[in-house]
Amino acid sequence: MKTINVGLVGITGYAGMELTRLLAGHPCMRLTMACSRAESGKRLGDYYPFLNRMPGADVIISVFEPQEAARKCEIVFLAVPAGTAMDMADALLRAGVKVVDFSADFRLHDPDTYLQWYKRDHTCPELLHKAVYGLPELYADAIAKAQLVANPGCYPTSVILGLYAAIKHDLILTEDIVVDSKSGATGAGRKASVPTLFCEVSDNFRAYGLPTHRHTPEIEQEISRLAGHEVCLSFNTHLLPTNRGILSTIYTKLKNPNTTFEEVHAAYMTTWEGSRWVRVLPKGLLPETRFVRGSMFCDIGLVVDSRTGRLIILSTIDNLCRGASGQALANANLISGLPVETGLEALAPLA
Amino acid sequence: MKTINVGLVGITGYAGMELTRLLAGHPCMRLTMACSRAESGKRLGDYYPFLNRMPGADVIISVFEPQEAARKCEIVFLAVPAGTAMDMADALLRAGVKVVDFSADFRLHDPDTYLQWYKRDHTCPELLHKAVYGLPELYADAIAKAQLVANPGCYPTSVILGLYAAIKHDLILTEDIVVDSKSGATGAGRKASVPTLFCEVSDNFRAYGLPTHRHTPEIEQEISRLAGHEVCLSFNTHLLPTNRGILSTIYTKLKNPNTTFEEVHAAYMTTWEGSRWVRVLPKGLLPETRFVRGSMFCDIGLVVDSRTGRLIILSTIDNLCRGASGQALANANLISGLPVETGLEALAPLA
Amino acid sequence: MKTINVGLVGITGYAGMELTRLLAGHPCMRLTMACSRAESGKRLGDYYPFLNRMPGADVIISVFEPQEAARKCEIVFLAVPAGTAMDMADALLRAGVKVVDFSADFRLHDPDTYLQWYKRDHTCPELLHKAVYGLPELYADAIAKAQLVANPGCYPTSVILGLYAAIKHDLILTEDIVVDSKSGATGAGRKASVPTLFCEVSDNFRAYGLPTHRHTPEIEQEISRLAGHEVCLSFNTHLLPTNRGILSTIYTKLKNPNTTFEEVHAAYMTTWEGSRWVRVLPKGLLPETRFVRGSMFCDIGLVVDSRTGRLIILSTIDNLCRGASGQALANANLISGLPVETGLEALAPLA
Amino acid sequence: MKTINVGLVGITGYAGMELTRLLAGHPCMRLTMACSRAESGKRLGDYYPFLNRMPGADVIISVFEPQEAARKCEIVFLAVPAGTAMDMADALLRAGVKVVDFSADFRLHDPDTYLQWYKRDHTCPELLHKAVYGLPELYADAIAKAQLVANPGCYPTSVILGLYAAIKHDLILTEDIVVDSKSGATGAGRKASVPTLFCEVSDNFRAYGLPTHRHTPEIEQEISRLAGHEVCLSFNTHLLPTNRGILSTIYTKLKNPNTTFEEVHAAYMTTWEGSRWVRVLPKGLLPETRFVRGSMFCDIGLVVDSRTGRLIILSTIDNLCRGASGQALANANLISGLPVETGLEALAPLA
């Protein structure tokens, strides 16, 4: 198998940490560049002791420079904040390097929507139509040909996969969707801050960001495209005292209130039966975040409540693996002509 | 202050444990009887080492016997499962003892609803109209005169207090309410079982009991009464990896989609300004379970989402104190002619 | 009961947070001054939402100024870092205010030892002989007359109380003591930092600060005084993924390897039988951090290992209450002529 | 690569769960038999939902029967309690199947020591001299030729690897060793019991089993063999509120109190430099349980305390992977002539 040299900009966050972990086990991708302004000059294995004796540990952390990246890498992963990524991506593409961007900078097709939710102008709007939304289940063919992949947000991944079959099969009223999402604390990032200290998060639970979480337009864009018309939904987020995991409880109204569980389940199975990673649970089983930990699986549970005429969809993923770094690696696999699951097969501990 | 002798049947569960804790600090209630078949004969302080050197530690655990209870107690707290409580309550009332029952046996006014949700016949339906629903904010006067108080469920306490002002002020459509509740693991009880082991709950999150949680009819009974018509709502529960705390995120549609946050907030303040325990948060603040830990507070946050025409109400309580033992003690205070907050003033650790 | 006005400098840390909690329930102390440079101007109840509707919530946070303190307070609690406290204490004493200092600045009698372990000169060494080490079990009489109390460190409180009876009764070899202490994360403070983020502490365990933890000389000073000769011991600390609690496992060698458990236990009971807060557990029981949570209790378990001729002492406290703010309040009670336990009687939640 | 068929008896515990996880990623071992009396008849993927779409999910759980095992497997892993394993192992060996036993039944060479610590007679003492202690770093050659491997205990693995270099290089006094070990709650097993419920373990810390933990004789046997004389040490265990991880803090006295850190570190590097899994940390770094999660690594930190003449060794492993199932798989690899690390290379999530 050929060796593919890749780079990672932004190693100090949890998504960067997770990607170094996954790359250490990839059979043919080799980390040749790891960038961080703050940690520049250190050996990666000294910064991340868990990496020692594994591939990647001896890379010296450097400051990002696009020409240097072009010399060292075929693909660069950008794990930097929205607003910072767009100029880096532009420079890399000009230097002939393919880019998988973790940020929101290339997820929204409309620069006005970007401005409205992210409160800044897009500096390279011409790239928006070139970027492919990196959800392999929906866009594998386009991703394989892309120069620039916009890796989906963690919450949107769980919500889009959860709603997909219901909308494809026209089961629900799209004007009445409420999403109640809960995420582990790695989703809040690895910056020093009081609200994410252990003693502020542990044995605590709270909502945050209501009602203006920035993943809202991304979810609406993709759900609208699936539905064939504009969809406006209520998206709401909470912080779990766990490291990882997203569970989205999605409340919908059935178009036909007499629809049975069996009909809904059959629609979901039709859609996902052959899927490698989307697992639809049988009647009576509900998903748990631990069962997808550290993996690419998206587990979906279905509840039909005939009392209220509702379909409740429970969708769970690992926010760092499926919701960020693992999905980025799957996209890089597609770009490189590798099987999408390469390096993503291992099960992580569940307890 | 006079001394009031009280008894507790069911010491081994978390509600029983919490009540022994609270009674140890009560200025005039004295625990004179503590019952548990399994632990009978032990000194309470040997069973619960935390109690040593505190009032109650020297009580010898006994097997419940109604005449003995009548000799020793003015009030008995029943912290036993639904189905077991009703006959005990009947026997105690006949023996002249007042009862605060933690179970669901006397919460529902209609024995048919009880049969439908609890899958058993009620053995003393004639007591249902004598029992008072023990939510002090709504029924303090009736509680003060009651022989039998049906202590509310933990989830219903959070939901009823959360919705109360919105319904009183006719702000929302009652046919479109979705409640997404999350509870700490003490809510799952203190029975030995694999699904509630540390390693099955820790770093995990899941829903359970959808869509038939038994607290549903209790919530609907009280909300219907407030609304003046039958309300059917969607009530859904999740298990948090925390010991304590309930956060209910309540999704409603505004009757008038142009209603502002300020209008909603004013309605809530009108209702709760003078309340000892219900605290309505200012704009932009959302409640956290830790801030009500071990207390009687119910913290309510409000979000008006003009994009979707929704009012989102976030209501949080401590499931063991406000949601069970503390509320039971408040009811016992009312029955005894004491100020409702007696013995319930201390703040518990928040971090 | 007379009202005693008190002030608190340093509200933003966990010890400050804990003291505001405890003062809110104190029957006769009133918080009249709360200082923090960073949060100055805010209402205390806005900074700490848990305080609302409780005493202290309406205090406006101010910048520390000694004359202002003298106008408002009889006693000031200093919950500021070592190095900062000493000059504040000096100014307060000059202004006629009594001081309970949480820092290490006045715990060590010898300024050279202070310099050696804290790497700075003491700026008011003349106060060192006036300061009283604030461990009520050992120094209640002196504390009652003190102007300046050096509140003990959290670890030393657990170790000194744990070893006290063994040394008093001359049971162990003082040249061969190893202390393995474990503390919850509130002990690491409330400053924004990556190593104390939830995701770095949760589901993790590690040692830190070996072998030079600054509490070492404080423990050695007090143990030496008890033993009547210089004692040098090995003190080692670990970080638990819990909010609160210290458990010190203290490994000692018996002077007489044939000493029985019963003899050791009898010695401990002789010492602590009448103590309000030190609880010696019976044979076979070991202490748990949860059973002392939020309280002044120190639970001590004893193990005699005849195979190795060792006495193992397990001593547990709540690091914030007994190890900091509760002990400070007990000292302020003594200074004020109040019963030492005033305002410290409530049991906190254990589960 | 040839396919090796393996069986697992005892799937319902955490070690069994972990082994199904690891086998799902093994390139040439195939699970062909999974036994559990209680769950017999179920599909393994229905019992463990995380396994679905992975190898092993479709195995039907069966009741253990040695002849059936011989038809289906070359190697059988016994993840059953001590006392149950010995007869199963005997039957399997007679049927021609190789055995890797997780229990303590074949770890101790002396049946009298077994009787003394496990309180039962050994039923097949003649197998004790055939069994090989399965610590690959010490006994790889013997393991490769063994019919029966006694997989080491979790604690002993951490302690033996931690002490090995110090004893080999004669650095410490073997008569004065104290081990303070802490383990995550998976070590307490997956049986329904109140003391291991989430709410009893979470935000709590306690010691247990002092001073008679059954891993003591296993540690002493191996350390004595290394030292060349009988060693008696103090071994003490604590329960962490984490799922996984063991950290053993090992207190020793230096033979020569003037030994420097550099000398100790050099001795450890000489021993472990070429090791795949034992990582000796540089000066100033201490190990963390998260950095070895789900892996075979044993991270060792060293502290020389010249004040007390002590060498403190901190040794950490994952109790389920290195301490049980991963080590069992490594042993099965050696038995099968595979590289010891086959199927054990993936890094698990660290946060």
What pLDDT shows up at residue A296?
A: 98
Position B83 scores a pLDDT of 95
Average pLDDT over residues A262-272: 98
Minimal Cβ distance to B294: which of C24, C186, C348? C348
Please report the ipTM that was assigned to this predicted complex. 0.97
State how far the Cα of D156 lies from the Cα of C17, in Å rounded to an integer. 42
Query: Mean pLDDT throughout A331-340?
Result: 98
| Chain C residues near any Cβ of chain D (below 8 Å) | 176, 178, 180, 182, 184, 199-200, 203-208, 210-211, 232-234, 236, 238, 240-245, 247, 249, 251, 286-290, 293, 301, 303, 305, 307-308, 310, 312, 314, 351
A236 vs A178, A324, D231, CA distance in Å? 8, 19, 60
- A1 pLDDT above the threshold of 80: no
CB pairs under 8 A between A and D: 92
Cα–Cα nearest to D280, from D248, D308, D316, D244: D316
To probe the interface with B, which of A177, A178, A205 has the most B CB atoms within 10 Å? Answer: A205
Residue C73 backbone phi and psi in degrees, to 5 = -135, 150
Closest CA relative to residue D25, chosen from D62, D47, D50: D50
What is the spatial distance between Cα B327 and Cα B246, in angstroms, rounded to a whole number?
15
Cβ atoms D323, D298 nearer than 8 A? no
The per-residue pLDDT for D50 is: 96
pLDDT mean across residues, chain A: 97
Chains that touch A (3 or more CB pairs under 8 A): B, C, D
- B chain contacts of residue C351, beta-carbon cutoff 8 Å: 14, 17, 186, 243-244, 320
- List the subunits that have 3+ CB pairs under 8 angstroms with D: A, B, C
- Report residue B244's pLDDT band, with 50, 70 and 90 as the boundaries: very high
Distance from CA of A111 to the nearest CA of D (A): 34
Interface touch C281/B21, C-beta < 8 Å: no
- pLDDT(D351) > 90: no
Q: Least CB-CB distance to D182: which of C205, C245, C287? A: C205
pLDDT of the residue at D2: 87
Please provide residue A233's backbone torsions phi and psi, each rounded to the nearest 5 degrees.
-130, 170
For an interface test with D, the pick among A50, A242, A277, A344 (most D C-beta atoms closer than 10 Å) comes out as: A50
Catalytic residues of D: 154
Region A216-235: mean pLDDT is: 98
Longest alpha-carbon distance in chain C: 64
Q: Please, are residues D223 and D163 in contact by the beta-carbon 8 Å criterion?
A: yes
Contact of B256 with B311, CB cutoff 8 Å = no
pLDDT over 80 at D1, yes or no: no
- H-type helices in A54-190, by residue range? 66-72, 85-94, 111-118, 136-145, 154-168
* pLDDT band (50, 70, 90) for residue B171: very high
pLDDT value of position A2: 87
Two structure tokens written together for D237: 């265990």
Q: Which residue type is seen at C339?
A: P
Q: What is the mean pLDDT of chain D?
A: 97
Domain ranges, ordered by start, for chain B: 4-130, 155-318
The reported pLDDT for the residue numbered C324 is 98
Contact C197 A199 (CB under 8 A): no
Length in residues, chain B: 351
Please name the member of B184, B203, B242 whose beta carbon is closest to the beta carbon of D243.
Answer: B203
Q: Mean pLDDT across chain C, nearest whole number?
A: 97
Residues A182 and A68 sit within 8 Å (Cβ to Cβ): no
pLDDT at D347 over 80: yes
Chain B interface residues facing chain D, Cβ-Cβ under 8 Å? 14, 184-186, 190-194, 196-203, 241-243
Per-residue burial over B199-218, b if 16 or more Cβ lie within 10 Å, else e, is bbbbbbbbbeebbebbbbbb
Q: Which amino acid is at C124?
A: C
Q: Are D197 and B185 an interchain contact pair (Cβ–Cβ within 8 Å)?
A: yes
CB contact under 8 A, A349 and D320: yes
- CA-nearest residue to B200 within chain A is A351
Res B2: pLDDT: 87
Residue range D190-194: average pLDDT? 97
Indicate yes or no: CB of B201 within 8 angstroms of CB of D198: yes
Distance (Å, whole) CA A204 – CA D197 = 19
Kindly tell me if the per-residue pLDDT of B1 is higher than 80: no
**pLDDT band of A7, cuts 50, 70, 90:** very high
C-alpha–C-alpha distance, residues A335 and A148, integer Å: 10
CB contact under 8 A, C53 and B244: no
Confidence of residue A351 (pLDDT cuts 50, 70, 90): confident
Confidence at residue A173, expressed as pLDDT on a 0 to 100 scale: 98
Pair D219, D155: CB distance under 8 Å:
yes
Catalytic residue among A35, A73, A154, A298: A154
Architecture of domain C155-318: 2-Layer Sandwich (3.30)
pLDDT in tens, D73-103: 999 999 999 999 999 999 999 999 999 999 9
For A190, the closest chain C residue by CA position comes to C194
Mean predicted confidence (pLDDT) in A96-106: 98
Look at residue C2 in the predicted model and tell me its pLDDT.
87
Q: What is the mean pLDDT of residues B90-94?
A: 98
Cβ-based contacts of D204 with chain C (< 8 Å) = 242, 245, 288-290
Q: Single out the residue of D313, A191, D180 nearest to residue C200, CA to CA.
A: A191
List CB contacts of B273: < 8 A, sequence separation 6 or more.
Answer: B280
| Å between A28 CA and nearest CA of chain C | 30
Query: pLDDT tens for residues B190-240?
Result: 999 999 999 999 999 999 999 999 999 999 999 999 999 999 999 999 999
Q: Quick check: B350 and C294 CB within 8 A?
A: no
Of the candidates D21, D277, D347, which has its C-beta nearest A25's C-beta? Answer: D347
Q: How confident is the model at residue D142 (pLDDT cuts 50, 70, 90)?
A: very high
pTM comes to 0.97
Residue C33: band (very low, low, confident or very high) from pLDDT cuts 50, 70, 90:
very high
Average pLDDT over residues D218-240: 98
Question: What is the layout of strands, in order, in the sheet containing B98-101?
Answer: B29-35, B4-9, B75-78, B98-101, B148-150, B132-133
pLDDT band of residue C351 (cuts 50, 70, 90) is: confident
Predicted pLDDT at A334 = 98
Cβ neighbours of D205 in C, within 8 Å: 182, 184, 240, 242, 245, 247, 288-289
Q: Between C21, C320, C351, which is nearest B347 by CB?
A: C21
Number of H helices, E strands in chain D: 11, 13
Record the tokens describing residue D316, joined without a space: 């950490």
Is-catalytic flag, A154? yes
Q: So what's the pLDDT on residue A330? A: 98
CATH of domain D4-130: 3.40.50.720
Band the pLDDT of D238: cuts 50, 70, 90.
Answer: very high
- Which residues in D15-47 are b (16+ Cβ under 10 Å) and which e? bbbbbbbbbbbbeebebbbbbbeebeebbbbbb
Label residue D22 by pLDDT band (50, 70, 90).
very high
Residues of chain B contacting A210 with CB distance shorter than 8 Å:
286, 303, 305, 312, 314
Of A43, A41, A50, A42, the closest CA to residue A17 belongs to A50
In the block, which residue shows the tokens 């509760």?
A: C326
Closest among A227, A100, A113 to A160, alpha carbons compared = A227
- Length reported for chain D: 351
Percent over 90 (pLDDT), chain D: 99
- CA separation for the pair D89, D131 (Å, rounded): 10
Q: What is the pLDDT of residue B45?
A: 97
Instruction: For residue B198, give how far its alpha carbon lies from the nearest alpha carbon of chain C (Å).
Output: 12
Subunits with at least 3 CB pairs below 8 A relative to chain B?
A: A, C, D
Would you call B198 and D194 a contact, using CB atoms and an 8 Å cutoff? no
Q: Which of C154, C232, C298, C321 is catalytic?
A: C154
Residues of D with CB under 8 A from a CB of A: 14, 17-18, 21, 24-25, 49-54, 186, 202-203, 243-244, 276-277, 279, 281, 285, 288, 290-294, 297, 299, 318, 320-321, 345-351
